[in-house]
Amino acid sequence: MANCYVLADKKTKQCVVIDCGGQHIQASIEIIKSNGFKPIYILATHAHFDHIEGTGIMKDAFPSVPFLVHKKGAKVCSRASKQLSDVCMWMIRRDIIDADDYFDNGSVFKLGPNLSISVLHTPGHSPGSTVFMVYIKKVLTYAISGDTAVMKGAAPMFWEGSLFWTKMSFVNFLEHIEKEANRVDLETFKLLPGHFAPLPFMKIRNGRYAKKAMKWAAKQRERECLALDI
Ligand SMILES: [Zn+2]
């Protein structure tokens, strides 16, 4: 089951819900209501069933709030209920719904003057996989990574995409953070993955898997350059 995140601006009380993983839905709805938060979007890091299986329940609680996925996740989204019935034969759920609208790489969601979320498209684990980069006072503070970087900070999950692109998207994500170096405090920057507990980004970056993946990507790119030279 996937993690569900509620991200709210203290001043405006506007919030977004990211990944309606089934088991956390009621608790998330309770958090939103008891704090007086005003949801403006329901977002998904990608449209695999375990990340969107509770979206219908969330929409029942907040019917006017649009549900958005990356535009390349649209087809996967409409297939998700089939994935759910294939994987969990005993479960018949009607809580997966199609997206109301789509976002793209670089889309920005503003919750208040100090809190914004920008979309980093990381196709690999699935065509529409996305990392939500959360900026607080213009400092990159959290990356909500779905399954692009997961498994206790080690390997990203390989499922629908090819292993090549799953690894490459993980490397692209690490490199994007490096490009953002002047807007991130690496000591406090945290990864909020699709599964398992949040963890410091540097734990991933300095981990064995990330180092191996970076080396692997460098070799792949070298090979590609050589092929192009020929
Ligand atoms: Zn997934």
CATH number for the domain spanning 131: value is 3.60.15.10
The stretch 162-191 carries a mean pLDDT of 88
Number of domains the chain is built from: 1
| pTM score of the predicted model | 0.88
Q: Is the pLDDT of residue 77 over 70?
A: no
Query: If you measure from the C-alpha of residue 50 to the centroid of ligand 1, how many angstroms do you get, rounded to a whole number?
Result: 7
Q: Tell how far the Cα of 131 is from the centroid of ligand 1, in angstroms.
A: 12
Place of tokens 């990507």: 217
State how far the Cα of 114 lies from the Cα of 100, in Å rounded to an integer: 27
From CA 148, how far away is CA 46, in angstroms rounded? 9
For the chain, report the end-to-end CA distance as a whole number of angstroms: 47
Instruction: State how far the Cα of 62 lies from the Cα of 59, in Å rounded to an integer.
Output: 5
Give me ligand 1 centre to Cα 46, in Å: 7
User: Which of 80, 76, 135, 136 has the alpha carbon at shortest distance from 102?
Assistant: 76
For residue 126, the CA-to-ligand 1 centroid distance in Å is 7
Residue 91 lies in domain:
5-229
CB atoms under 10 Å from CB of 131, counted, come to 24
Q: Residues of 67-84 as b/e, b for ≥16 C-beta within 10 angstroms?
A: bbbbbbbbebbeebbebb
- Centroid of ligand 1 to alpha carbon of 230 (angstroms): 38
Residues 145-156 pLDDT 10s: 998 887 554 556
pLDDT digits (tens, 9 = 90+) for 93-130: 556 788 999 999 999 999 999 999 999 999 988 889 99
Q: From ligand 1's centre to the CA of 125, what distance in Å? A: 6
CA of 199 from ligand 1 middle (Å) equals 19
DSSP letter for 100, please: S
Q: How far is the CA of 227 from the centre of ligand 1 (A)?
A: 32
pLDDT tens, position by position, 188-210: 999 999 988 898 988 888 888 88
Check if the beta carbon of residue 133 is closer than 8 Å to that of residue 115: no
Ligand 1 centroid to 225 CA: how many Å? 31
**Beta partners for residue 121, in sequence order:** 130
Distance in Å, CA 26 to ligand 1 centroid:
21
Distance 75 CA to ligand 1 centre (A): 14
Please give the distance, rounded to the nearest whole angstrom, from the Cα atom of residue 147 to the centre of ligand 1.
5
- Residue 63 CA to ligand 1 center (angstroms) comes to 25
**Distance from the CA of 202 to the center of ligand 1, in angstroms?**
23
Q: Given the DSSP bridges, would you call strands 38-43 and 67-70 parallel, antiparallel or unpaired?
A: parallel
What's the confidence (pLDDT) of residue 230?
45
